Structure 1
Amino acid sequence: MTGWRLLLTRPADDCTALAELLAGQGIFSSCLPLLEIAPLPVSATMRQTFADLPRCSAVIVVSKPAARIAVELLDSYGPASLAMPWFSVGAATAQILLDRGLDANFPADGDDSEALLQLPRLREAVTRADSQVLILRGEGGRELLAERLRELGASVEYLELYRRDLPAYPSDELPLRIEAERLSGLVVSSGQGFEHLRQLAGDAWPNIAQLPLFVPSPRVAELASAAGARTVVDCRGASAAALLTALREHPVPVL
């Protein structure tokens, strides 16, 4: 496992944290953030949604950026107290909510939507009569979670809090980085992260697509395979633990 030399593409702070963790396991990594979080301007809809939170049976927060922005909006526009349960896929997102004093829950086994949907607390909240669920996320994203919740009888609404921009890099930054640092694998944490990777690769994509690509879910794996990535590894989660497990299970390619 220590032979891997990885390109990390998460937002800058998350990239640095993951690089430090990997270094502790003897794994070299190079940070090239491909997602820059840009909070959306606070709108009347945002203010009203947070003022009306007590109507919700449950609130689902899909990411750490969404959790951080939600806490800020709560402090400015939210009610004095909130009794409903909050949910996230991962422990790190849940911790931001817990630090705010919210009743945050996350699946202990698995860090994807499927694991979240199996939580008894969530199923209890969404199967009550007239249940209303609010999902806090960035612009875009998959609809599977909402579809499954609606199948359980819940009314579901989204509130988008931020967008994910591609930072400005020279057009040849990606292939030069891969060559200079002898990288043997690529890591993306979301579908949009992959789209930005493909965009930055430009004409070099056919060569870059030969490298093993570690992705967080079957959906992103399908996206990458359809775009021509030759070896796609589904880590079954975006956490560092999920990535480490995948690295242990896959040999370092001979370049």
Structure 2
Amino acid sequence: MSPWRLLLTRPEEDCAALAQSLEVAGVASSCLPLLAIEPVQLGAEHHQRLAALAQCQAMIVVSKPAARLLLEHLQQAGVQPPTTGWFTVGEATAAVLRSAALKVSCPAQGDDSEALLALPALRQAIAPAGARVMIVRGVGGRELLAERLAEQGASVDYLELYRRCLPAYPAGMLMHRIQAERLNGLVVSSGQGLEHLQQLAAADWPRVARLPLFVPSPRVAEQARAAGAQQVVDCRGASAAALLAAVQRSAAPAS
């Protein structure tokens, strides 16, 4: 049995799946979702962009919630999506789209924006002059994809389908959970997840920040260190396999 006891903070469904994967590998965990997915009400602009997918050379779907909501809205609107030109950051999101018989490309190594931008298939898709790209995501978020694609001559639009909210928890709950379950590591899956962790910790953040913190990318690692996290482990990916590999190569704190 691994000496690690991790706090998982992904959205509820993903948190449960991750906990199960870790349990099989002998890693104990506790779920405290810090990202709740709230679908947005679609307006005329959303419907215009759903219809515009057929004119895009590349459609980038950044998360599983985005993929699920997109398929639901396409079905409700009676819009037939193009079968090719789909891209995702990770394999899990690709699997959602492939369930609708869409052909999806994603990086074989690394599941972040940088890995996707380096994907030859995406570079080929946006090579034609005036190539159009639709990024399907939640409201707000990182602009790196759009900025880099625009630098390469692509015209980029967003189709934003949900908001990420911090669930309501009692004050002090985070520290209480850590102490009661003797947790010795924290896991966040995004920059916003880290922000919500800090927000929930509130006055307890200096103590929480002493625990090892597993993050999915160099960008979030930099953000965590800037926020005062003292032991940051970059998993180089957000998948269960990437987390497990990082856990297995990291020494747990002494009890």
Q: Which residue of structure 1 aligns with residue 237 of structure 2?
A: 237
> Which residue of structure 1 aligns with residue 190 of structure 2?
190
Q: Retained in 2: the 8 A contact 1:5–1:182? A: yes
Matches of 1:205 and 1:78 in 2, distance apart? 48
Amino acid across the alignment from 1:179: Q
Q: Deviations over 1:153-189 (max 9, x none)?
A: 1111112110011111111110000001000000000
- 1:39 paired with 2:39, answer yes
Matched, 1:62 2:62: yes
Aligned: 1:88 with 2:50: no
Cα distance in structure 1, aligned partners of 2:200 and 2:41:
27
Match of 2:170 in 1: 170
> Which residue in the other structure is 1:181 paired with?
181
Secondary structure of 1:6's partner? strand
4+ runs deviating over 4 angstroms: none
Structure-1 separation of matches of 2:18 and 2:81: 34
Q: State the Cα distance separating 1:43 from its structure 2 match.
A: 1.1
Q: Which residue of 1 aligns with 2:200?
A: 200
Going from structure 1 to structure 2, the CA distance change for 1:15 and 1:124 (only over 3 Å counts) comes to: same
TM-score for both structures, normalised by structure 2: 0.97
Residue 77 of structure 2 corresponds to which residue in structure 1?
77
Question: Does the 8 A contact of 2:66 with 2:138 survive in 1?
Answer: yes
**CA distance, structure 2, for counterparts of residue 169 and residue 83 of structure 1:** 42
Following superposition, the deviation at residue 79 of structure 1 comes to 3.2
Number of residue equivalences: 255
Report what 1:26 is aligned to: 26
Gaps of 5+ in 1: none
Q: CA deviation at 1:218?
A: 1.4
Quote the offset at 1:59 in angstroms. 0.2
Question: More displaced, 112-121 or 185-194?
Answer: 112-121
Q: Quick one: distance in 2 between partners of 1:80 and 1:19?
A: 36
In the TM superposition, residue 245 of structure 1 has moved relative to its aligned partner by: 1.2
Structure 1 position 80, deviation (Å): 2.9
> SS of 1:30's equivalent?
strand
Question: What residue identity is the alignment partner of 1:66?
Answer: A
Equivalent position amino acid for 2:233 in 1: V
In 2, Cα distance between equivalents of 1:247 and 1:146: 32
Q: Distance in 2 between matches of 1:130 and 1:209?
A: 46
Q: Which residue of 1 aligns with 2:228?
A: 228
Corresponding position of 1:115: 115
Q: Any gaps of 5 or more consecutive residues in structure 2?
A: none
User: Could you tell me whether the CA contact under 8 Å between 1:51 and 1:78 is conserved in 2?
Assistant: no
Residue equivalent to 2:143: 143
Letter matched to residue 198 of structure 2 = R
Quote the residue 1:126 is aligned against. 126
| Stretch of structure 1 that moved more, 15-24 or 152-161 | 152-161
Q: Is 1:99 paired with 2:96?
A: no
Could you state the TM-score of these two structures normalised by the residue count of structure 1?
0.97
Root-mean-square deviation over aligned CA pairs: 1.2
